[in-house]
Structure 1
Amino acid sequence: MRFGYCRVSTKDQCLDRQIEALKAAGVDERNIFCDKMSGVKEHRPALDDLLSRLREGDSVTVLSFDRLARSTKQLLSISEQLETMGVDLISLKESVDTTTPQGKLVFQIFSAIAEFQRSIIKEAQREGIEAAKAKGKIKGRPRVSQEKLEAALSLYDRKQMSVREIERTIGISRGTLYKAIRERESF
């Protein structure tokens, strides 16, 4: 059976382009597994589900290897797992089929390039943050005012609103509210 996997890094990004490419390559939409999270994560729900369904003779198609993993180590690990299971890996963008020796070589080269790209992105991000800090533009997450915190705690104590309603009404996060409750209780 032919399966497909697609991934974007954030919930705001769209999977449509990848899904359409996989369908055009002959993958039935019911067999396309999608994650909206970083490719660095070792465990991704849709990928784990896909891997659990694969059987010998199946194939996994991806738009590009960087959709499957963002490090050479992880990409090679997934590739070896698929090879051990007797499952073929096909990348549409790189035109690579890992069932051939040439395909395996090209696969390893592309996985190294994907890891290199990820490193460059991280380095540029780190440099941008350092530059912003040097200019005094980044000081961390903004603090919630004491008045907002006290109002939220008061509403919480009266039990007239749910935590979600308190979040919306006061404009604070659930984590901030629970942290304030824990701190108050520890005194």
Structure 2
Amino acid sequence: MTARSVGYARLAAGDGQEEAAALRAAGCDDVQLERVTGTRSIRPVWVRLRAGLADGDTLTVVRLADLHWALVRLVEMLAALQHEGVRFRSITESIDSNHPGYADLIEGLMQLPGQVSIVRSQAVRSSAAGRARGRQGGRTQTLTPEQAERAQRLYDQREMTAEAIAAEFGISRATLYRYVRPSQAKKGSEPVMRTNERKAK
């Protein structure tokens, strides 16, 4: 059976052209996009894709958050893929399970509290991903001009929390706030609330 190169991305907004182009540029022959809002756990496209993966196949995602939001589930999924002989790659974090340092990434994620979200673990993920690419230390994730523009659009629409938007781009919430400007939101609307601001009310 011929090995497959499958690409997958979760979509919270947009038509998916940017994600599809990135996956095809990464060499994916089969690109699967799934529109999911928030942390919805039911993902029929992902379920079908996952069931078809076999030893020798390659799974590429645009960002780690496409696989799962919760770190405990993410680690379980990465370990399962590795056990089944499926190569895993993440474009945003430049992660490749074929690289010698990939084990460091898994170890770094396993050291985090089980209930922490992917967004809050950004610093650790960046450092671990750096080791997986063969370098020491880490650097803050940044957005391209196109990504920054899209992040601003999501921010202005006020349909997602800042944490959810940050997860879409694989960056921390603090990094997101360096790119979005509340003044560009629609007139008469309030900017997206920070998670802790929602809890305070």
Settle same-fold status: TM greater than 0.5. Answer: yes
2:194 alignment partner in structure 1: 124
Q: 1:59 to 1:40 in 2, by over 3 A?
A: same
Structure 1: stretches of 5+ with no match in the other structure: 132-187
- CA offset at residue 3 of structure 1? 0.4
| Shift in alpha-carbon separation, 1:117–1:89, aligned structure 2, 3 A | same
Deviation at residue 38 of structure 1 after TM alignment: 4.1
In structure 2, C-alpha distance between the alignment counterparts of 1:40 and 1:81, rounded to whole Å: 21
The residue type paired with residue 125 of structure 1 is T
3-state SS of the aligned residue for 1:26? coil
Return the letter of the residue paired with 1:121. Answer: E
Q: Aligned residue for 1:16?
A: 17
Question: In the TM superposition, what whole-angstrom CA distance separates every residue of 1:55-76 from its partner, at most 9, and x where no partner exists?
Answer: 1100101111122211111211
Paired position in structure 2 for 1:66? 65
Residues 39 and 68 in structure 1, CA contact (< 8 A), matched pair in contact too = no
Q: Which residue of 1 aligns with 2:101?
A: 102
- Measured in 1, the distance between the counterparts of 2:66 and 2:38 equals 7
Is the 1:98–1:107 Cα contact (8 Å) retained in structure 2?
A: no
Select the structure of larger CA radius of gyration: 1
Alignment check: 8 A CA contact 1:40 1:71 kept: no
Write the distance in 2 (CA, Å) between the matches of 1:60 and 1:39.
23
Aligned residues: 127
Rounded to whole Å, the distance in 1 between the matches of 2:26 and 2:14 is 22
SS in 2 for 1:93: coil
1:84 is aligned to 83
The 1:68–1:75 alpha-carbon spacing in structure 2 relative to 1, beyond 3 Å, is same
What corresponds to 1:155 in structure 2?
Answer: none
Aligned to 1:77, the other structure's residue is in SS state helix
More helix by share: 1
Matched residue type, 2:24: K
User: What is the CA–CA distance in structure 1 between the aligned matches of 2:199 and 2:52, rounded to whole Å?
Assistant: 42
Matched residue of 1:32: which SS?
strand
How big is each residue's C-alpha offset from its partner over 1:150-175, in whole Å with a ceiling of 9 and x where there is no partner? xxxxxxxxxxxxxxxxxxxxxxxxxx
Query: Residues 32-181 of structure 1: matches in 2 within 5 Å?
Result: 32-38=31-37, 40-106=39-105, 109=108, 114-116=118-120, 121=163, 124-125=194-195, 127-128=197-198, 130-131=200-201
C-alpha distance in 2 between matches for 1:76 and 1:115: 14
Give, in whole Å, the separation in 2 of the partners of 1:77 and 1:68.
11
**Residue deviations 1:45-64, cap 9 Å, x none?**
11101111111100101111
| Conserved 8 A contact 2:75-2:109 | no
Provide the residue aligned with 1:5 in structure 2.
Answer: 8
What SS does structure 1 have at the residue aligned with 2:118?
A: helix
Contact persistence 1:72–1:115 (CA under 8 A): no
Q: State the TM-score, normalizing by the size of structure 1.
A: 0.56
Q: Distance in 2 between matches of 1:104 and 1:38?
A: 31
Give the Cα–Cα distance (whole angstroms) in 2 for the partners of residues 74 and 38 of structure 1: 18
Distance in 2 between residues matched to 1:106 and 1:41, nearest whole Å: 26
